[in-house]
Structure 1
Amino acid sequence: MELSDYIRILRKNWLVIVALTLVGIGSAAAYSLTREPQYEATSQVFVSSQAGSTVAELQQGNTFTQARVTTYVNLVTTPIILNPVISDLGLENISANGLAEKVSASSPLNTTIISITVTDPSAAEAARLANAVAASLTEQVEDLETLPDSDASPIKLTLVKDADAPFVPVSPNVPLNLALGALVGLALGVGFAVLRTVLDTRIRSTRDVEAITERPIIGAIPFDPRAKERPIILKEDPTNPRSEAFRALRTNLQFLDMDGGHSFVITSSMPSEGKSTTAVNLAIALADAGKRVVLVDADLRKPKVHEYLGVEGGVGLTDVLIGRVHLTDVLQQWGSRSLYVLPAGKIPPNPSELLGSAQMHALLEAFSRDVDVVILDAPPLLPVTDAAVLAKRTSGAIVVVAAGDTSRHQLEGAIDALETVDAKVAGIVLTMVPTRGPDAYGYGYGYGYGGYGYGGHAPESPKPKPAKASTRRARRSAETAPEQVRTGAPKGSASIDDLL
């Protein structure tokens, strides 16, 4: 990963990092407050040689003394030194081993000074013990070093510094503990953020898409918390930044080199990624640009186009494919635009077979001759094969990916499903893209998306609008007179060219 990736991870998980850092500081503070204060008192003993009067003898004696100092340091915590201290001070509730845990000794390199340090919850007791241990060491070493045939020891220990009662405890070291707690909490927070990012397989930005496929990202639809209320944003609020995103998608689509083709399947890897709202809004945007557009609801499993646009959906594509009605009977113009909608009609038991039939192929060819752009809203790719079947007969498939919802494996599976049947992938459209934060998409100059919170798609379909009286009559007529509609268009009806 690059430095920018780590910065994005930190920005994305800063709350967790701060929280764990505070937890670390709080834990260190709690530990420090619950520990009993400990005081240290230190006394010092000087070791010297009493033998020799010449320079050579003194030098030899000094070498001997330095060699013995290490032995005396180790001798400080032994029972032979500590038992007299316990007896002299009347310490009945402690043993030599227990007292040894409080006592430590050291000697600086190339010196003959021994520092004796005692740690105790009482400052006065620590000083008293340190002085007593120093006195006991002085006496016991003199006895140990005195030879049987001599009255004096060649080594002399002198107490050169008495231990004083300290005013400030050495433990707990609150500033140090707080600093260590903050560092540990920060390290845990950063580690958690990196691990969370590595284990997160969801697609959250264009960088994740680019890591999976080389197909161009032709659109990014920003997240809109009100998308459920207004799925057809180009109708509800044409000046909304989300509307501008669909217009940008329209522009990018016109620049795609698809060998002169102009029919596109809008699909996704899984449901609820915004494919239907993308198909509808894209069709409206193309019609607003003066294109003659046919929007076909080819989702013969869960059709939504007629609900979004509020058109009659009782009869449609399935009825045309089985020859039950003529195309001109069910192709409906939407508003005053040059947009014509072919609903899905009744849900058949064999959607894949119908969409891959010769009748469907002939219908797509007819549309391609008579209109500028054909948009087909198809089912998701992973649950069923309908979209892959359609994509092979069109100019290409536009795969819709929901940011923060679709996983990398799902997108890879969707693209593989298309490539398996040699279908072209025209491009990728990201929906529900964050408008602020580290994963926000750069929408370009002038829109100011980061401050509005617009974008996204409707995860659920709105309630369909009541059909007009004329469309209700048309549906009843198609249901009660199947023989008439199967034989072709009613007398006096227009051809598709006349209608378009």
Structure 2
Amino acid sequence: MDAETATSRTPALQVSSAPAATVPCDTSGLPPPLAHSAARLARSRYSWALGSGKGGLMGTQEVLRMLRGRWLLIVLMGLLGTSIALVIAAVQAPKYTASADVFVTVTSGQSTGDLAQGSTFSQDQARNFAAVVTKEVVLGPVIKQFGLDITLDDMRKNVDVEVPLNTSLITIKVTDKDPVQAAALANAVAKQLSSAVASLTPTVDQVKGAPIRAELIEAAGVPNKPSSPIIPLYAVLGLLVGLVLAIAYLVVVELVVARVDSSEQVEALTGSVVLASVPRDRRVSRHPIAVTALPLSLRAEAIRHVRTALKFLPGEANQTFVVTSSVSGEGKSTTAANIAAAFAAEGMSTCLVEADLRRPRLEGLLDLTGGPGLSDIVVGQCQIEDTVQSWGPDDLQVILVGTIPPNASELLGSSRGQDALRAIASRFDVTIIDTPPLTAVTDAAIIGRQFDGVIMVVGGGKVRTSELRQSMGALAVADVPIRGTVLNLAKEDASRPYAYAYSDRNRQTRLADLLPQGWRPVIKALAAIVAAVAVTMTAVALTSAQETAKPSGVSTPQSSAVPSTSATPATPKAVFIGDSLVAGTGGSGTKWTSLVSSGMGWSEVNLGRGGTGYVTSSDANGCGLSYCPTFVEMADAVIAEKPDIVVISGGENDGTNSVSTAANSLFASLKKGLPNAQIYVLSPLWRATAYPDALKQTSADIKAAAQANGVRYIAVGNPLEGHPEWFNTDQTHPNADGYKKLAAAILSAIKKG
């Protein structure tokens, strides 16, 4: 564990009144890199005393450094958020929005003034009746008409109303997963609003003036692309959420758990220059003092760099450097010993003083013999010359702790403690004082104030940013400047710029050494670009697919102008073919086909013929005509209607006959003749009794043919089973209640798909 830093000595009482700038620093005789470091030290020496350092929260420079250092993570998190948002959008069922326009008019007024007044009145009433759209008087009948299994509040969530400024126009928008139903519901709500306006408006006899009318002027067309989800919006929101989460994560980590691992972080957090980055070395446990044991190592070169920078700091002839750290384990004592050994190797009389009176380590680190030390000098039990021990080939003088006192802070802060340290410092050219960590006790701040500042040892990967900030705060409160910092245990790449080539001669070549200088930022940038392009292409593809996709079986009818009592061109046309149940026999005018058409917003064309089937024709006894064709023979008639929707229901009249060939022929003909139509094939309907085996086989043949030809097979089941009361006396044809039950079951099955 190595690191180095040092500091020069000026009288303690002159810290705030006579800064070091009053003593010039001559760096003209230094090599350029060392002269630059010494000049930076002179400029930043009193940065903390002058208030330029950071104490608690992150400053602007720290935030910018964090964002710059972790930009790839931020970008990737933003892209991840975008990807997740795109996945969410992709799995959501698309919703379609159809809109219908209703115009509010006043039906009286003879003069120009009356007409102008009526126009203003109609605009006011348009806003009033827009509020009525979402009320039960309008939506209740629509829910009942379509047989929707939703509450009034659920329906309100799908209905939106707008009144353009200074107009009498009410725009009704309905959203649904089925585009056809969205259009049908919008038209139904508009028509119901017209009826509600007529019933709510006072008559001429009750109020002077004319009644108000609301007329549907533009019916809703079937939307050909979904209104939600909006892919670009999801992508942007996902990107923003990802970026915010990434930055928030980095800020929390930086403030709570992040560890310092670069010289840029050290300078940003301390406001002081980094004298050197001392690399990690596995040999530190065997050879802690690299200057003497490993003189050609990177550690030794980094320590010499620190020594050179400190030696030329302004100050008195006898220099004193107080070495401290934030927490234990950062290599403070090892760094102090190395700095002392480096000064001694230059032939300067150097003393290493151990002032960590609580957890001393120099005795074991330097393999010295314990005995009287600093504490004994302070209390007057020994003289300085009685405690000094020589170490190493360069005669480094070491004063150990001595007797460990119970009141270390009081002892060092007392006048006798200060006098003892000054007396020691006056005897040597250079004095290195090893003090305890700042976050644990106040000893380092006390001694640092006495000797005009401290040298901070920052253990790379050991100290958290929050702990380093806490140390900076403690120094700021005590008005103790930082004279320099040493990044100890630095990553190799951070320390290599300070190493000489010959120090690296035995280092094995790695793949990273063979790549061009600065390849890592390029690789990161390329990774970010590739990821961004992939996510962007995915978003574009999803948006394009959404815009070009057409709802299955839905044509694109054109919107119509004012509707009449008959179907408007915007209303999908549905043709029903089948047997007597399609024709509505026995229902006293109630047909399930009419109820389903109303519920789906379709215009009904009923081609049902009693007694017919896929392979079975009928005559006057079955359908009332001399001849009624099979379903296959009805294909041309269906195609001639040019419908948007075809519904086929039957099969019970075919008995035990195979319908497979006929069903395949019918479905193929309809698909060819009506390529844009939506074709529904219902499972055969039956009576109050259980499904016979023959009809089960017929149903299976119809389903197989539907799947083979790409038409939608709707399994209705046998909804009237067990309810003979829903049939006429013949127990074959349903009554009005039975047809209503059939309609509800079929409508539900169609909506479920």
Give me the TM-score of the superposition, normalised by structure 1. 0.65
Distance between the aligned counterparts of 1:395 and 1:103, measured in 2? 78
Q: How does 1:85-164 map to 2 (within 5 A)?
A: 85-87=142-144, 89-91=145-147, 93-94=149-150, 96=152, 98-145=154-201, 147=203, 154-164=211-221
Q: Sort the Cα spacing of 1:61 and 1:391 in 2 relative to 1 into closer, same or farther, 3 A.
A: closer
Corresponding residue for residue 468 of structure 2: 407
Among 269, 278, 287, the alignment partner of 1:222 is 278
Counterpart for residue 683 of structure 2 = none
Q: Could you say if the C-alpha distance between residues 381 and 111 of structure 1 is closer, same or farther in structure 2, counting changes exceeding 3 Å?
A: closer
Given the superposition, is the C-alpha separation of residues 391 and 52 from structure 1 closer, same or farther in structure 2, using an over 3 Å criterion? closer
What's the counterpart of residue 732 of structure 2? none
Distance 1:314 1:171, change over 3 A: same
SS at match of 1:93: coil
Residue 245 of structure 1 and its aligned partner are, at CA, apart by 3.2
Residue 252 of structure 1 and its aligned partner are, at CA, apart by: 3.4
Say which SS state the counterpart of residue 291 (structure 1) adopts.
coil
Separation in 2 of the partners of 1:107 and 1:236? 88
The counterpart of 1:280, out of the listed 337, 358, 364, is 337
Gaps of 5+ in 1: 211-215, 455-500
3-state SS of paired residue (1:7): helix
- Measure the CA separation in 2 of the matches of 1:107 and 1:387: 74
Larger radius of gyration: 2
Preserved CA contact (<8 Å) 1:268 1:414: no
The answer for the alignment partner of 2:533 in structure 1 is none
Q: Distance in 1 between matches of 2:150 and 2:203?
A: 33
- Report deviation, 1:125: 0.9
Q: Structure 2 CA distance, aligned partners of 1:364 and 1:80?
A: 96
2:11 corresponds to which residue? none
Give the distance between the partners of 1:361 and 1:247, measured in 2 at CA.
30
SS at match of 2:284: coil
Q: C-alpha distance in 2, partners of 1:44/1:264? A: 85
Which residue is equivalent to 1:334?
Answer: 392
Q: Distance in 2 between matches of 1:350 and 1:100?
A: 80
Aligned match for 1:206, one of 267, 289, 307: 267
Partner of 1:473: none
Q: How far is the alpha carbon of 1:26 from its aligned partner? A: 5.5
Partner of 2:225: 168
Q: Show the 5 A alignment for 1:305-320.
A: 305=362, 307-309=364-366, 313-314=368-369
Deviation of 1:246 (Å): 2.0
The 5 A counterparts of 1:371-450 are 372-375=429-432, 377=434, 398-403=454-459, 404-405=463-464, 406-410=467-471, 413=474, 427-432=483-488
Deviations 1:302-336 (A, max 9, x none): 55446545x5x236655998889x969x954523x
CA contact (8 A) 1:263 1:374 kept: yes
**Matched residues in 2 for 1:138 and 1:381: separation?**
81
Matches of residues 343-354 of structure 1 in structure 2 within 5 Å? 344=400, 348=403, 350=405
1:78-89 correspondence to structure 2 within 5 Å: 78-87=135-144, 89=145
Give CA deviations for 1:347-400 in whole Å, capped at 9, x if unaligned: 645597999999x9899969965x6444454555776798799889x9777544
What is the letter of the counterpart of residue 269 of structure 2?
Answer: D
Displacement of 1:143 in angstroms is: 4.8
2:302 pairs with 1:248 = no
- Please give the alpha-carbon distance, in whole angstroms, between the structure 2 residues aligned to 1:161 and 1:373: 95
CA contact (8 A) 1:316 1:342 kept: no
Q: Does the CA contact (< 8 Å) of 2:98 and 2:221 recur in 1? A: yes
After superposition, the C-alpha distances for 1:404-446 in whole angstroms (9 at most, x for unaligned) are: 35534445557888x9xxxx98944434275699xx79x9989
1:290 is displaced (CA, Å) by 3.2
Deviation at 1:40, TM superposition (A): 0.9
Post-superposition CA distance 1:50-101 (Å, at most 9, x none): 43455444334333332322233223233333344345x3426345555344
**Aligned equivalent of 2:118, options 52, 61, 69:** 61
Matched with 1:261 is 318
1:112/1:378 CA distance change after superposition, 3 Å:
closer
Partner in structure 1 of residue 131 of structure 2 = 74
SS of residue paired to 1:246: helix
Render the CA deviation track for 1:234-290: whole Å, top value 9, x for unaligned. 345545554333223222333345543245554556533323222222223223323
2:587 — aligned with what? none
Task: For 1:363 and 1:70, locate their aligned partners in 2 and report how far apart those are by CA, in whole Å.
Answer: 88
In structure 2, which of residues 65, 85, 101 is the aligned counterpart of residue 28 of structure 1?
A: 85
Shift of 1:128: 0.9
8 Å CA contact retained: 1:294, 1:373: yes
| Counterpart residue identity of residue 275, structure 2 | G
**Native 8 Å contact 1:77 1:100 kept in 2:** yes
Separation in 1, partners of 2:168, 2:435: 91
Distance, in Å, in 1 between the alignment partners of 2:59 and 2:354 is 43
Q: Is the 8 A contact 1:258 1:426 kept in 2?
A: no
- Contact kept? 1:295, 1:339, Cα under 8 Å: no
Contact 1:36 1:121 in 2 (8 A): yes
Contact preservation (8 Å) 1:305, 1:343: no
Structure 1 distance, partners of 2:192, 2:238, is: 41
Q: Which letter does structure 2 place at the counterpart of 1:249?
A: V
Q: Please, which runs of 5 or more residues in structure 2 have no aligned partner?
A: 1-57, 508-753
Change (3 A) 1:436 1:16: farther
Q: What residue is the counterpart of 1:232 in the other structure?
A: 289
Partners of 1:75 and 1:222 lie apart in 2 by 78
Looking at structure 2, the residues matched to 174 and 121 of structure 1 have their Cα atoms a distance apart, in angstroms, of 17
Task: Find the aligned partners of 1:61 and 1:412 in 2 and give their Cα distance.
Answer: 76
Cα deviation 1:161-182 (Å, max 9, x = unaligned): 2212212222222331232132
- CA distance in 1 between partners of 2:447 and 2:199 (Å): 105
Is the 8 Å Cα contact of residues 445 and 475 (structure 2) preserved in structure 1? no
Q: Which amino acid aligns with 1:164?
A: G
**1:293-308 alignment, distance < 5 Å:** 293-295=350-352, 304-305=361-362, 307-308=364-365
Partner AA of 2:102 in structure 1: V
1:44 corresponds, among 81, 101, 104, to 101
Q: Is the 8 A contact 2:99 2:221 kept in 1?
A: yes
**Structure-2 change in CA distance of 1:331 and 1:54 (3 Å):** closer
Identity %: 33
Which residue identity does 2:95 align to in structure 1?
A: Q
Q: Indicate how the Cα distance of structure 1 residues 138 and 217 shifts in structure 2: closer, same or farther if over 3 A, else same.
A: closer
For 1:299 and 1:76, the matched residues in 2 are separated by: 82
- SS of the equivalent of 1:114 reads strand
